[in-house]
Amino acid sequence: MIVRDAASRLTELARYYPVVSITGPRQSGKTTLCRSTFPSLPYVSLEPLDVREFALSDPRGFLASVPNGAIIDEVQRVPELFSYLQSDVDANPAPGRFILTGSQQLALTASVTQSLAGRTGLLELFPPSWAELQRFPSAPTDLFEVLWTGAYPRIYDRQIPPHQWLADYVATYVQRDVRQLLNVGDLRAFTNFLQLCAGSTAGETHLSRLGADAGISHNTAKAWLSVLEASYLVFRLPGWNPTFRKQVVKSAKLHFVDTGVASYLLGIREPEQLRTHPLRGALFESWVASELVKHRAHHGTRCDLHHYRDAAGLEVDLIVSDAHAVTLIEAKSGATIASDFTHAVDRLAAGVRQRARDLAIETRVIYGGTSRQTRGSTQLVPWREVDSLLALSGGVPT
């Protein structure tokens, strides 16, 4: 077990609200975080059928059994409980009484919004960031091993071979739980869709093309992708649209939360395959994007994440912005700095500076090498220092 960065944010929220709701993918460490942060609270999981039946058939009795509060795991299993929780915390609004966890974003947040609005703090917990992974004694040191292994903590805690754990995760969670949530009968079509999504990581989302390639309709592809997002397997970054550009492409980019899962779905069975794999750069870009998402979620940072492409072909992988500043980031998996690494961010920065003189613009390239360099006004940051890229000040990297 390691100390998670989100622990301080969780403790802070528990000082303000009687309920804190934590969502995130299965096996991301939600239960471990909650039990280590609040060791005095009793722990109840709604996964076992008998406990779930107790909460469902007698919600008042269930809550009376934990009068001083509890950690309630997989709470989305009994959505009816939320209305009774509302009455309970209204009668006793002491902060930090109930810590709720769930692995289905839509099911949990919809219930929270309906019944516990204003009474609960919200936290998303993703698999450990690169900075957190280094707290494990067995943390990988090679970039391709990092991308291939992914970041799910049980791989490192239990020393389970990554290929074995990822195979079981895809079979038990992705192909069973997510498929049941979607009520999908055709496992082959769904698995094919998952593999096509993995092949599209760091690419713009074209639902009609994904659907056609998977042999399903546009609407089915849209529904399946939405559930993959709600289950924290993938996320989408919208296109950035500075007001001075009319020919901006607004399609969202698709990214896998965990590059280990994406690598497994792509049939990559050992780290060395990534050295020459055609999707090496895409997986690296998704890894960097995921690091940004994790940092924002675990630290409660208020910033927007986008990508950029215009009709003239200018593309920038990642845009981190708030009202007063923007950072343009390119992700390059190569270990040797090439002369064109900074071209895209430099061109877009020049255009933005001409038309938005009050906006602070920074440019960064995160790459697969080992030394930090500066080219013009752009910093080139080695992948091992991605956490320094994410040191936030006012919502954007410094």
**Has residue 1 been placed in a domain?**
no
Sheet holding 304-309, edge to edge: 304-309, 315-321, 325-332, 360-367, 378-382, 373-375
Q: Does residue 218 sit in the same domain as residue 112?
A: no
Q: Output the pLDDT for position 175.
A: 63
Q: Does residue 70 sit in the same domain as residue 38?
A: yes
Amino acid in the structure at residue 194? L
- Residue ranges making up the domain that contains 53: 6-124
Q: Output the pLDDT for position 115.
A: 67
Q: DSSP assignment, residue 175?
A: I
- Kindly state the average pLDDT of the residues 222-232: 87
Inform me whether the pLDDT recorded for 185 exceeds 80.
no
Q: 98-112, 203-217, 261-275, 288-302 — which is least confidently predicted?
A: 98-112
Q: Output the pLDDT for position 246.
A: 55
Q: Output the pLDDT for position 48.
A: 93
Number of CB atoms found within 10 A of residue 59's CB: 19
Between the CA of residue 276 and those of 78, 125, 144, 270, 280, what are the distances in Å?
A: 47, 32, 11, 12, 7
**Has residue 67 been placed in a domain?**
yes
Torsion sign (Cα): 204, 207, 209, 211: positive
Q: Does residue 206 sit in the same domain as residue 260?
A: yes
Distance in angstroms (rounded) separating the CA atoms of residues 354 and 294: 32
Write the burial class of residue 112 (CB in 10 Å: 0-12 exposed, 13-18 middle, 19+ buried): buried
Q: Does residue 89 sit in the same domain as residue 156?
A: no
Domain edge (last residue) among 91, 124, 157: 124
Q: Does residue 119 sit in the same domain as residue 172?
A: no
Closest CA to 287 of 256, 261, 317: 256
Q: Output the pLDDT for position 324.
A: 79
* Tens of pLDDT, residues 9-32: 999 999 999 999 999 988 999 999
Q: Does residue 10 sit in the same domain as residue 113?
A: yes
Q: Output the pLDDT for position 149.
A: 97
Q: Does residue 248 sit in the same domain as residue 313?
A: yes
**Has residue 300 been placed in a domain?**
yes
Distance in angstroms (rounded) separating the CA atoms of residues 313 and 201: 19
Q: 153-167, 230-244, 325-339 — which is least confidently predicted?
A: 230-244
Split into its structural domains, the chain has a count of 2
Q: Does residue 140 sit in the same domain as residue 119?
A: no
pLDDT band at 393 (very low <50, low <70, confident <90, very high): very low
Domain edge (last residue) among 91, 109, 124: 124
Phi, psi of 145 (to 5 degrees): -70, -35
* Tens of pLDDT, residues 370-389: 999 999 999 999 999 998 77
For residue 107, the domain's CATH number is 3.40.50.300
Q: Does residue 11 sit in the same domain as residue 143?
A: no
* Tens of pLDDT, residues 313-357: 899 999 998 777 899 999 999 999 999 999 999 999 998 888 777
Q: Does residue 307 sit in the same domain as residue 384?
A: yes
Considering only the C-alpha atoms of the chain, give the largest distance between any 2 of them, rounded to a whole number of Å: 67
Q: What is the pTM of this model?
A: 0.92
* Tens of pLDDT, residues 247-261: 577 789 999 999 999
Distance in angstroms (rounded) separating the CA atoms of residues 75 and 80: 10
Q: Output the pLDDT for position 392.
A: 42
pLDDT band at 114 (very low <50, low <70, confident <90, very high): low
Q: Does residue 224 sit in the same domain as residue 167?
A: yes
Q: Output the pLDDT for position 93.
A: 93
Helix (H) or strand (E) holding 98: strand 98-102
Q: Does residue 146 sit in the same domain as residue 40?
A: no
